[in-house]
A and B are shown apart, each in its own frame.
Chain A
Amino acid sequence: MMPIPRETQAQTPVLSCTDLRIEIGGNPVVDGTSLSIAAGETLALVGESGCGKSMTALGLIRLLPDAAHLSGGQISLQGERIDQLSERQMNRLRGNRLAMIFQEPVASLDPLMPVGRQIAEALSRSDTLTSAEVRTRVLDMLTRVGIDRPEIRARQYPFQLSGGMCQRVMIAMAMIRQPILLIADEPTTALDVTIQKQILELMGDLRRETGSAVLLITHDMGVVSESANRVAVMYAGRIVETGSVAQVFARPRHPYTAMLLRTIPRLDGPRKQALPAIAGAVPDIRDWPGGCRFHPRCPLATDHCRAKAPPLASVGASHETACWHHDRIATELT
């Protein structure tokens, strides 16, 4: 195998954002988020509901709901700023280089159009292919995503397909243009575990084949550990820890990550015993606490945490955490 030259390793990320800010009605839902994803890499953005992970994703591709707006930060796609682009330019990008799949495949598909035509539509937007070529590529793609008898399935409507099959159709639609970035927002949350496994494997295969970058948004730590290279943990609008999945899972350096990993029932853990719970609940956007936003739920919190928000700082090779007490976590929380 050829060694990968250093230049390509350190090449411009497919997507990066710095200090991204999104507001809803004057409240910051995403508060200074920075991240970057390289080609062929899966970055998982993980957090509980209301932490701003979906808003971050929608902000990155400028598909925010009307009530929300970008209030700061820079977004670059392959080194080019895209946060200032017009709606028309953005639309062209989204058709060509960016793709997105959502949690509810059935709701994301047009109920009145055969699925084959919906995939063809994604393809024909700018390419100059004959209808026979389009047909071949659609059927190929359906086969690629593991759908049997694609000629028959292509003529069927979403209601005639199962949830898992609809999600395969969504993936086919997203991947047929070979996007450089795929954003997948809870792509398997509505699916059964056995189907989830197949879909995650499929996404991994396609990523390796096409070299796309993937931003995977999920609340499921198990999904992160099995299908991402790097992880960014969000809490109350901020990234609190980021690093390689191996590092973060083996040695979490933020109390929230450490406690989250301990609180999930495991297939090899003790049974019928109290789980080490995280007290309290994720605060509402309107009353996010000052200082470190995790401090009301954190057993390590001190006055310093209540007064001043810790910055995201390096604690190892590409491992960063936003905690004043990250050196106490290994001894006191794991």
Chain B
Amino acid sequence: MSTPIVSVRELKVHFPIRSGIMGRVTDHVRAVDGVSFDLMPGRTVAIVGESGSGKSTTGYAVMGMQEPTEGQILIDGRDRARMSRSERMATMRRLQIVFQDPVSALNPRMSAADSIAEPLQIHGVGTARDRRIRVQKLLDLVGLPRSAGGKLPREFSGGQKQRIVIARALALDPQAVICDEAVSALDVSIQSQILNLFLDLQSELGLAYIFISHDLSVVRHIADDILVMRAGKVVEQGPTDDIFSTARHEYTRQLLAAVPRL
């Protein structure tokens, strides 16, 4: 059996609430309160929930953007908390994240090619020429014309911008990509194009995804396993088919009942 790319064990992220003139910690917001799951290579785990459920905070903790209060995050079986600086840098190359809003994720004054090449530069990968070739390949991969490289973000539509963001996330050949509401801001006709791209990339590159979303129809379409979160806790978790056919928890049923049907 292979090792999970990401293994989350009893993760807790608590934020202190300070009050009074001394700013003493009087309580905690339990943003994430005991979440565990494994992400296997080439698979998709979705975290669904409403706003404030802790789904994004879980994603940030996996990325190392948020320090866990308790619990462990193992990357390829190694505890992130015990890693040296260089090991952390190496894990950063294996995990990437794509956010909801491609407009704020791109530097408006940087060409698409420069944006995509930036992670390669930061990690000192290849020569300038290697990087140029890699950018061309990435543009092909995400379905953008090679001429797109010289253009600025404002010359692209929302869907094309998200393709640039995805190309940048793939620049370092990650094993897993965390998609935080990555299709939520897109128009419906564009949303399906990007979902198709995620599925294609998965079968082509063997990528694994942690797919964070509030949209149950999207999640059902793309995920192998699902965690349903509410107020920091996982109320239900299991294979997608089971969750959608025989949801056990009352809240999961409520969520499913609230989805408008076509």
Using a CB–CB cutoff of 8 Å, the interface residues on chain A facing chain B are 48-49, 163, 192-197, 200, 219-223, 225-227, 249, 259-261, 263-267, 269, 271-279, 281-282
CA distance A142 to B229 in the complex (A): 31
Instruction: Annotate B131-149 by CB proximity to A: 1 below 8 A, 0 otherwise.
Output: 0000000000000000000
Select which of A48, A196, A264 is within 8 A of B258 by beta carbon.
A196
For the complex of A and B, list the 7 residue pairs with the smallest distance between their C-beta atoms, beginning with the closest. A222-B260, A192-B50, A265-B221, A48-B187, A275-B192, A278-B189, A193-B258
Is B201 interfacial (CB 8 A cutoff)? no
Partner of A265, one of B50, B51, B220: B220
Map CB proximity to A onto B189-200 as digits: 1 under 8 Å, 0 otherwise: 111110110011
Report the Cα distance A8→B240, complex, angstroms: 50
Min CB distance A284 to B, Å, is 8
A271, B261: Cβ atoms under 8 Å?
Answer: no
Residues A265 and B189 in contact in the complex (CB < 8 Å), given A194-B258, A272-B221: no
Nearest CB in chain A: distance from B153 CB, A: 15
Q: How far is the CA of A264 from the CA of B190 in the complex (A)?
A: 10
Closest-by-CB residue of A relative to B194 is: A277
Stretch of B61-69, B117-125, B211-219 at the chain-chain interface: B211-219
Q: For the side of the interface on B, what is the size category?
A: 35 or more
| Complex contact B221–A275 (CB within 8 A) | yes
Grouping DSSP codes into helix (H, G, I), strand (E, B) and loop, the B interface class, with mixed when no group exceeds half, is helix
In the bound complex, do residue B196 and residue A267 qualify as a contact, i.e. CB atoms below 8 Å apart?
no
- B218: chain A residues at CB < 8 Å are 265
Instruction: List 8 extra interface pairs beyond A266-B262, A281-B190, CB under 8 A.
Output: A193-B50, A219-B187, A222-B259, A225-B260, A260-B189, A267-B216, A267-B256, A267-B259
Residue of B with least CB distance to A271: B221
> Considering the complex, which residues of chain B in the window 169-211 have a beta carbon less than 8 Å from any beta carbon of chain A?
187-193, 195-196, 199-200
Partner of A277, one of B157, B192, B221, B259: B192
Measured between beta carbons, the chain B residues less than 8 angstroms from A193 are 50, 214, 216, 255, 258-259
For the complex, what is the distance from the CA of A225 to the CA of B195, rounded to whole Å? 23
Write out the residue numbers on chain A whose beta carbons fall within 8 Å of the beta carbon of B224: 272
12 contacts between A and B (CB under 8 A): A192-B51, A194-B50, A196-B260, A200-B260, A222-B261, A226-B260, A265-B220, A267-B256, A271-B222, A276-B192, A278-B192, A281-B189
The distance in angstroms between the C-alpha atoms of A264 and B262, with both chains bound, is 9
If A193-B255, A196-B258 touch, whether A282 touches B50 (CB-CB below 8 Å) is: no
Q: Are B187 and A49 in contact (CB under 8 A)?
A: yes
Residues of chain A contacted by B60 (CB below 8 angstroms): none
Chain A proximity mask over B228-262: 1 for CB below 8 Å, otherwise 0: 00000000000011001000000000111111111
| B187:A263 contact, CB within 8 angstroms | no
Q: Give the distance in Å from the alpha carbon of A276 to the alpha carbon of B254 in the complex.
A: 29
| Set of chain B residues within 8 Å of A275, measured between Cβ atoms | 192, 195-196, 221
